[in-house]
Amino acid sequence: MPASAAGAYFDNNATTPPLPAVVEAMRPCLEANFGNASSIHRQGQQARAMIEAARAAAAELIGAEPNEIVFTSGGTEADNLALFGMIPEPRGAHLIVSAIEHHAVLHAARELAERGAAVSWLPATRDGRVRPTDVEQALRPETRLISVMLANNETGVIQPIEAIGRIARQARVPLHVDAVQAAGKIPVSVEELGCSLLSFSAHKFHGPQGVGALYVRRGTRLRPLFYGGRHERERRAGTENLAGIAGMGAAARLALRDLEAEARRQSRMRDALEAAVKQSIPEAEALGAEAPRVPNTSCLHIPGIAGEALVIALDLRGYCISTGAACSSGAVEPSHVLTAMGLEDAEARACVRISLGKLNREAEAEAFCRILPAEIARLLELSPARHAKIKSGAISVA
């Protein structure tokens, strides 16, 4: 949404708008360069060249080799390929998973448990981090995989993956990292993380929806989910999404180019938003603010409000935010991430997520800094619980 229009889009952790350069990179694939990359004629080889150029760009974004990149339909497929591909025979196997993972990992792990695998669920601290010592203590002789995300989709908190990676290497257990909310926002190096597999998705860093990738370290044995042709070095059968992959490559190049500057700019906007809310509503809390976070994400706990009510109120003003993961919108249960961090159900329901992107401008953020506290205050004034607490002196009004 242009800065001159009323409102702005602040739900970039759900999806980001494709950059104009990304759209232009995709256009030839939809108009002229439409060949099948498995064909040996000129059109096919042009398509193959575009895919391999994108593969090199995606690999560079995470410090991998191009032949270690497997293109998928997105982060969910990449996560599923990692878990089911590494544990094709679940009975008797053991898997370690954090309790704050995205549902793409959580539900895959639960399905493996249904098929006979044992799963250890790692708790999170109040600031939203997994303790490496808990990973170490959960290890068993039959542990086949550890899966811990790099950055949480709801809080933005960065997990201590390097420490977990050292533990995994010492135990000779493969580590899978869901980096969907980290790639393109912070520096990511698969060598420094020490992982064997890493998932990322184009639409989280201003690429198209419907395309992602799984990094598979050379030498890692992975059983495919799909069977058919010999695509992606026999790790993911099916004709490649040429336009999507070309767009992902373009988005990866742009993300890497602007990584440091965007991190500084977005963290300034995020900090200003949090300060504005705190000044107006002193009891408000930015969850995970004491831990390392990706620069674009703020998860605000505002006692006395319903998060969904604030999302609706801001939507009527033209601002898009969320109460958490887009995959869970409409869910009756409170956020599993926030309850795993120790919040009560009512506290978890009093949270909203604001996530910035490359197309957000300072003028939008400044306007939002004025509107957000005012909308929160208006909702609090309508809350009977708020009036009771004010009367008792339990909370103050700035």
Per-residue DSSP letter, 11: B
Structure tokens at 193: 């993380």
DSSP state of 135: H
Give me the helices (H) in 7-102, please. 20-31, 42-62, 75-86
What does the alpha-carbon distance between residue 39 and residue 200 come to, in Å, rounded to a whole number? Answer: 28
- Please state, in angstroms and rounded to a whole number, the distance separating the CA atoms of residues 237 and 151: 29
Torsion angle, CA of 49/54/56/58, rounded to 10 degrees?
A: -160
> How many whole angstroms separate alpha carbon 341 and alpha carbon 196?
27
Catalytic position from the list 29, 299, 327, 369: 327
Contact between residue 120 and residue 96 where contact means Cβ atoms under 8 Å apart: yes
Q: How many whole angstroms separate alpha carbon 244 and alpha carbon 252?
A: 12
Active site residue 327: yes
**Gap between the Cα atoms of 14 and 4, Å rounded:** 23
Q: Which of 12, 101, 3 is nearest to 298 (CA)?
A: 12
Q: From start to end of the chain, where are the E strands?
A: 8-9, 69-72, 94-98, 118-122, 143-147, 175-178, 197-201, 212-216, 285-286, 297-301, 319-320, 351-355
Phi, psi (deg, nearest 5) at residue 153: -70, -20
Instruction: State how far Cα 319 lies from the chain centre.
Output: 21
Cα dist from 168 to 82, 86, 119, 171, whole Å: 16, 15, 16, 5
Is 60 exposed, middle or buried, given 0-12, 13-18 or 19+ CB atoms closer than 10 A?
middle
| Spatial separation of the C-alpha atoms in residues 310 and 372, rounded to whole Å | 9
* Sign of torsion over alpha carbons 322, 328, 330, 334: negative
Task: Give catalytic residue positions.
Answer: 327
